[in-house]
Chains A and B, each alone.
Chain A
């Protein structure tokens, strides 16, 4: 349910399916706490709260967000912190979990342009 006027989740008054969302979870994006619901993708939960920029591109540093929504375009990459290492995932097909630590995808930027390594 949307409790804020700017929440993009479908609200009960305009919800043809009459959804009850899954249990509430909290994750972080770029250090900020984000409330979400079990079953939502990272992209959906972020977009619901107005976060559209998920990464910046390797060469131009241009902001990118969700495009295809079905896992085909790989534009919606975000970085998830894991116990051993960070990894890149597609935000639109990755479900939120409680305590997930998410950042704008930056694994490309660990390689400087022109140093000869092709990712």
Chain B
């Protein structure tokens, strides 16, 4: 079993384990995710058709409208939020949404080091992502 571990930076506290859902494209949450279901609805996006609920969502960074923060909050309220968020570089929209929605979040992690389906443990308090199995 791989004991690979990555050290990043705490953005929003908490710990969670889950299966990676990875995008190599940035995500603008406003208009991209259906908060009622957790489904990724943005046409043409790499993650279109996937469901973010309880996944460890890995993507380079957020972008777009600050309303995206409220989308992350809305997902959390409905139990459809990712288990954790892992970024290369978290910007204010995702940081704000993760904090308000109480979704563990770390950045400073190379998103190419993780793959769809990897089972990982995110310890956002320590800023780490540990691969449990690939």
Query: A and B: partners?
Result: no
Q: Which residues from chain B sit less than 8 Å from chain A, CB to CB?
A: none
A residues apposed to B, CB below 8 Å: none
